[in-house]
Amino acid sequence: MIPLPTGLRARLVITFTLVAVTASTLVATIGFELAKTALVTRAESTSLDLVTRELSSISFPVGRLRPGEAPPTTKDLDRVAATLNGPGRSVLIEYGNMISARGPMAMSDVPNELYGRAKQSLVTQRKIIRDQLWLIVGTEVYRDTDGAPEPTGLRAFVFFPMRDDVRQLGTLRTTLAQAGAAIVLIALVVALLSARQVLLPVRRLSAAAQALGQGRLDTRLPVHGQDELADLTARFNDAAAALELSVSELRSLEAISRRFVADVSHELRTPLTAMTAVADVLSEEAGRLPKAPAEAVRLVLREIERLRELVEHLIEISRFDAGTATLNVEPVNVADAIADCLEVRGWSDQVQVKASQGLTVNLDPRRFDVIVANLAGNALKHGLPPITVSARATENGLEVKVRDHGKGIPGEALAHVFDRFFKAGSGRARSQGSGLGLAIARANVQLHGGTISVRPQHPGTLFTVWFPHS
């Protein structure tokens, strides 16, 4: 099955060409039929005039003879046949039992229908005889008797060859076919040029829309003319200008928002430092306080720690948003870096490390520590043991996996675990953590040029981080 063209240019060209082919075929057909009719009419008219004129000049008596008239002889019929004869023609004269013939035709070549109609009027008929087209004129001679025409029984049949007319029609057919082909070719060229001219503004609009989608919001197109395409171009320019203004405003608001978050986070550091110092003192005294005040102190300590973590995460996120986050890459022993990360946070007894001691990779050690801490901390908070952190070298980089054996993350939440402030399940709305840990882990991985993904396990969840060779 031949696939149909889907491009607008192809469809325009095909439609234009089909219209041209149809129009040229229709014109050629009509012209040919008119020419054919004219040629046949002229041939019939000429033939009828000749037969009528020659038969009207018969001087010997035919039909019902009057006193003193002798019946016609074979010589009389031969003279009539001779006057009707001409180049290429064939003549048959019939009178009673006598037949005079000039040419190759015989009475058997006269169509029965024509023979019957010739008794009443002057008639014609075209017929192919021996692979040649002939115009046959047949009539019966009438004699004027007392002012009234009277049939005489003398019939004449003249065969006029039409090979010249057939040749002319063949030449005309060839000429019309050649002219039609030329018209179609011209129409195809005109269609290509017209389609290009029509689609040029469309292609410009397409290129401009692509540029707009790529972020070049200052893209504009010149407006030419006052047609529909010019109106469309003007509307595109208006839409692009409105979009540029809206994006500019959104970027300004986003910058203000980021600056506000960064400023607030930094401003919170000072009172948070003081609160942390007070919290340390309260922590030491909590054991000597009554049960209710001691519980309140422990609640305050937990919230202060949660606030401290949130502020640190907000400051880290603001650096990524502002584009000021940088990498300080150096050779890192992966097994030691993971072990140090867990030991500093007191997780060494809860998390199992599987990594070759000799595995060394170029990484930013601080950011690698943040990635491992966020993934392992997430597993400890929301998963169940055993929890493992494994690392291995691959053909094109380093692969780190963090696995827990908890209930796992709901399927509908897997696509959003790296979103900011996202917490899967209603039970996590007030859980410990800022909701930014996984988002920060992903940002640090992407800063290294790597990838991070999550997959459900049975049971638990598996996070996989890949770092390329640097």
Query: Both 26 and 72 in a single domain?
Result: yes
Identify the residue with better confidence: 401 or 289.
Answer: 401
Distance CA 77, CA 74 (A): 5
Domain boundary among 324, 347, 375: 324
The whole model's pTM is what?
Answer: 0.46
For the cut 70, the answer to whether the pLDDT of residue 315 exceeds it is no
For 360-410, the pLDDT digits (tens) are 989 988 889 989 988 998 888 888 889 999 999 888 889 999 999 888 888
Q: Which helix (H) or strand (E) holds 134?
A: strand 132-145
Least confident of 144-153, 223-232, 317-326, 419-428: 419-428
Co-location of 111 and 74 in the same domain: yes
CATH number at residue 131: 3.30.450
Final residue before a domain boundary, out of 279, 305, 324: 324
> Both 259 and 162 in a single domain?
no
Within 8 A by CB and 6+ apart from 140, the residues are 118, 119, 120, 151, 152, 153, 154, 155
- Please check whether residue 305 lies inside any domain of the structure: yes
With 70 as the cut, is the pLDDT of residue 120 above it? yes
Distance CA 273, CA 275 (A): 5
Q: Which of 169, 195, 230 represents a domain boundary (last residue)?
A: 169
Helix, strand and coil in the chain, % to nearest 5:
55, 20, 25
Same domain, 37 and 124: yes
156 shares its domain with 280? no
Residue 178 lies in a domain: no
Domain annotation covers residue 176: no
Query: Quick check: is 455 in a domain?
Result: yes
The pLDDT of residue 114 is above 60: yes
Give the count of domains, the chain: 3
- Residues 259 and 387 placed together within one structural domain of the fold: no
Residues 242 and 221 in one domain: yes
Q: Do residue 423 and residue 345 come from a single domain? A: yes
> Quick one: pLDDT at residue 222?
85
pLDDT at 6: 59
Condensed to tens digits (0 to 9), the pLDDT of residues 131-154 reads 899 999 999 988 877 767 888 889
Q: Is residue 186 domain-resident?
A: no
* CATH number of the domain that residue 297 is part of: 1.10.287.130
**pLDDT tens, residue by residue, 43-77:** 899 999 999 998 888 878 887 788 878 888 889 89
**Dihedral angle sign, alpha carbons of residues 232, 237, 240, 242:** negative
Which CATH number goes with the domain that contains 384?
A: 3.30.565.10
**Are 37 and 58 found together in one domain?**
yes
Decide: 330 and 365 in contact? Cβ < 8 Å: yes
Report the distance separating Cα 249 and Cα 246, nearest Å. 5
Q: Which amino acid is at 47?
A: S
Q: Band of the pLDDT at 286, cuts 50, 70, 90?
A: low
- Whole-angstrom distance, CA of residue 210 vs CA of residue 207: 5
Phi first, then psi: what are they for 185, rounded to 5°?
Answer: -65, -45
Helices (H), 224-290: 228-285
User: What is the rounded CA–CA span in Å between residue 214 and residue 196?
Assistant: 26
Q: Is residue 198 part of a domain?
A: no
Residues 404 and 357 in one domain: yes
Nearest-5° Cα angle at 368, 364 to 371: 145
132 phi-psi bin (left φ>0, alpha ψ -120 to 50, beta other)? beta
Q: Per residue in 81-100, pLDDT tens? A: 999 998 999 999 999 889 99
167-181, 212-226, 274-288, range with greatest mean pLDDT: 167-181
17 shares a domain with 160 = yes
Query: Is 196 within a domain?
Result: no
Distance separating alpha carbons of residues 460 and 443, to the nearest angstrom? 24
62-76, 317-331, 363-377, 421-435 — most confident range: 363-377
Angle between helices 437-447 and 291-322 (to 10 degrees): 30
Indicate whether 17 belongs to any domain: yes
Q: Does 238 lie in the same domain as 146?
A: no
Range of the domain at 374: 326-468
